Amino acid sequence: MSEHLPDDDREAVREALIEWYEADHREFPWRRTDDAYRILVSEVMSQQTQLSRVEEAYADFLERWPEVSDLAATDRGEVVAFWSDHSLGYNNRATYLHEAATQVVEEYGGEFPEEPDELQELMGVGPYTANAVASFAFDNGDAVVDTNVKRVLYRAFGVPDDDSAFERAASALMPDGESRVWNNAIMELGGVACGKNPRCDEEGCPWREWCHAYQTGDFTAPDVPTQPSFEGSRRQFRGRIVRLLGEHDEMDLDTLGHRIRVDYTPDGEHGREWLRGLLSDLAADGLVEVEESDDGDQPLVLLAS
């Protein structure tokens, strides 16, 4: 599937992500439903508007037009006015949504089609939205590939920055027939843990043990062309040092270096000098101690007592 994920690990990678997602995730009202109409409304609203503002508009919209038939029966001007009043971006989205509701009522007897291809026949519904509705309403979608998902796949498994490579990798990774939980989970990972400034340790990313970026400290991505905040990446390594020392009591300098990044080479760019810089910051914060040796052995690093 990609250069950094052996096929044998695929199952473990899947389970780890689903477990992480199910243990804790952001609650959005549209995640609590499998109603295609509600999911379509949330998807169309989210295209241009911050999620926090969408929540309020979504609730108001559904109070006013609780079912697809209510929306279809209303005057289009009212939907457009609602859209402007709630600052939801281009008004043509309101027009399309109204038209799509009319199609569902007139052409499909009020029941949404379940296949992504058919969903795309609805006005204003492109491949991404069709797939999202098929996944979240019917558990019948393909792997979603959006900028968040690309960033995760690029960092974690070294998938090259190429749309068809992303599509292939995303599909190969998704467990068959589980598009609802999977697409929610991978988008949550990209939104919460693997954002432009990644929060791998803070969010307990379930892919740290496989992640190429985590192992090398290179967190660039297609939408993050330069290394995101240097401090962010230093913080990651500081966190890892403290965690490792908590597990191992004490470690010599090079063993510690090799354990926190795969490209550690004692005399290289990310070698002893780099590691000593991190350790002296940690020592200044009273978190670790470095015991120098008198007989030329490696210094020992341990948690401060």
- 154, 182, 207, 264: which one contacts ligand SF4 (CB under 6 A)? 207
Q: Is 245 in the site for ligand SF4 (CB under 6 A)?
A: no
Shortest gap between Cβ of 201 and ligand SF4 (angstroms)?
8
Tokens encoding 194:
């693997």
Quick one: which segment of 2-10, 54-62, 190-198, 279-287 binds ligand SF4 (CB under 6 A)? 190-198
Number of residues that bind ligand SF4 (CB under 6 A): 14
Nearer of residues 89 and 158 to ligand SF4, judged by Cβ: 158
Shortest gap between Cβ of 258 and ligand SF4 (angstroms)?
18
Shortest gap between Cβ of 6 and ligand SF4 (angstroms)?
16
SS3 for the chain, per residue? CCCCCCHHHHHHHHHHHHHHHHHCCCCCHHHHCCCHHHHHHHHHHHCCCCHHHHHHHHHHHHHHCCCHHHHHHCCHHHHHHHHHHCCCCCCHHHHHHHHHHHHHHHHHCCCCCCCHHHHCCCCCCCHHHHHHHHHHHHCCCCCCCCHHHHHHHHHHHCCCCCHHHHHHHHHHHCCCCCHHHHHHHHHHHHHHHCCCCCCCCCCCCCCCCCCHHHHHCCCCECCECCCCCHHHHHHHHHHHHHHHHHHHCEEEHHHHHHHHCCCCCCCCCCCHHHHHHHHHHHHHCCCEEEECCCCCCCCEEEECC
- 132, 156, 174, 260: which one contacts ligand SF4 (CB under 6 A)? 156
- Restricting to residues 115-154, name those near ligand SF4 by CB under 6 A: 152
CA–CA dist 188, 51 (Å, integer) = 13
Q: Is 213 in the site for ligand SF4 (CB under 6 A)?
A: yes
- 86, 155, 270, 272: which one contacts ligand SF4 (CB under 6 A)? 155
Nearer of residues 144 and 194 to ligand SF4, judged by Cβ: 194
- 13, 133, 211, 275: which one contacts ligand SF4 (CB under 6 A)? 211
> Is 11 one of the catalytic residues?
no
**Catalytic option among 11, 43, 55, 291:** 43
Shortest gap between Cβ of 303 and ligand SF4 (angstroms)?
23
Q: Is 198 in the site for ligand SF4 (CB under 6 A)?
A: yes
- Residues with active-site annotation: 43
Q: Which residues bind ligand SF4 (CB under 6 A)?
A: 152, 155-156, 193-194, 198, 200, 205, 207-208, 211, 213-214, 219
